[in-house]
Chain A
Amino acid sequence: MAGASMKDIKLRIRSVESTKQITSAMQLVAGSKLRRARQRMEDTRPYMNAAREVIADIAAHKDVISPFFRKQESAARCVVVIAGDRGLAGHYNAAVFNLADGLIGDDTQVLPIGKKAVDRYARRGAKLVSDVYLKVERVSSYDCRNMAERLIECFLHGDYGEVTLVATTFESAMTQTAFTTTLLPVTPAEFEPSEKPRTQLLMEPGPAALLNAVMPDYLAGVLYGAACDAVACEMAARRNAMDSATKNAEQMISDLSLSYNRARQGSITQEITEIVAGAEQ
């Protein structure tokens, strides 16, 4: 009995060891990708902050009448879902989908970004705005610009009354939180300026026309920023998941080695007992 079980345990140790090799390699890869993704994410910050300031300046003019500030009649909604390209990243994708599924109804259109999101909503038969954004990592600012123009066109046309974004925000390498935010209509209250509106601000052309002109840029910036955040989150989530998988594998190997040694000791003891018993006869 002892011999067969020893062999079994040895086999298990070997298989856990090769799994551990894979998880620790994935952890290293995710770690280095995370470094790059974080850099890219931080590079988008100055633009985001400046763009928000511009929109805040326009929104501070209380008399601006713009379709961007008004909810459209249509009850339909468009949800932009930014998820990962691959699995094995802990609950990263699941957290995004949990939030997104709560928003998606029968007359909802979905703009999925990332392979996991595209696959999921295509499989479910949701109405997709586009299914070409398969790689979050590869989404360029031009792609975002195209998306923004399309969303704005459909929004102004009244195809949907609201555009919502579901993505993940990078708080730290250990914490990433899935969130939803309304992209359109823009709520002026969201941009409460810290100081009182600058009365001396000269706008060319007028506020409403200006808003029409800068809105695609702003929205593209928001989408690009969210995509960069999402990539960093995915990598961080994968690194953490693989880190704990590697630790679990180590724990398992040490437990298995213990039972292996115990089984080995048991078989030796048994052999000795048998020999002694044979000698006594």
Chain B
Amino acid sequence: MASFHLKIVTPESLVYEGEAERIVVRTVQGDVCILPRHIDYLSALGDGEARVTYDGHVHKAHCVGGMLHVAGGKVEVLSTKFEWMDGE
């Protein structure tokens, strides 16, 4: 399955870096889903659930504020707080 490079960072640490197949995050204007080969994109994040699909599984997380940045096929989530729900 096609994938893209995903990096999730918070001010405190690097939460995730690696390949992902899909990510759904809540922006200030509603949920947005990023798939591979997305065009360059920039948006501000609201508070809500994030769903990241990697290794064929959906991983849910609690994501608070920040930015979503897609540049050259690489996706960066810069969040104030990002916590996996399944205790990863």
Contacts and interface: CB of A to CB of B under 8 A. Distances in A.
Given A201-B42, A210-B44, A213-B28, A47 B69 contact: no
A214 B67 contact: yes
Interface residues of A, number: 30
Contacts of B85: none
Nearest to B65: A217
Nearest to A48: B11
A50 B41 contact: no
Interface string A41-71: 0011011001101100110000000000000
User: DSSP majority for the A interface?
Assistant: helix
Contacts of A144: 11
Interface in B29-75: 29, 32, 39-44, 65-67, 69, 71
Contact of B13 (A43, A214, A216, A225): A43
A51 B39 contact: no
A44 B71 contact: no
A235 interface: no
B3 interface: no
A216 B11 CA distance: 13
B88 interface: no
B14 A204 contact: no
B78 interface: yes
A198 interface: yes
B76 interface: yes
A220 B32 CA distance: 24
B42 A202 contact: yes
Nearest to B81: A141
Contacts of B81: 141
Contacts of B9: 46-47, 50
A46 B43 contact: no
Contact of A54 (B28, B39, B67, B80): B67
A54 B76 CA distance: 10
Contacts of B39: 200, 202
A40 B67 CA distance: 22
B69 A221 contact: no
A221 B39 CA distance: 26
A136 B81 CA distance: 20
* List of 9 A-B pairs having minimum Cβ-Cβ separation, nearest first: A213-B44, A141-B11, A201-B40, A47-B9, A224-B11, A43-B13, A204-B43, A46-B9, A203-B42
30 contacts: A43-B12, A43-B14, A46-B9, A46-B14, A47-B10, A50-B78, A51-B67, A53-B76, A54-B78, A58-B42, A141-B11, A141-B12, A144-B11, A201-B40, A201-B71, A202-B42, A204-B27, A204-B29, A204-B32, A204-B41, A204-B42, A204-B43, A205-B29, A210-B44, A213-B28, A214-B66, A217-B44, A217-B67, A217-B80, A220-B11
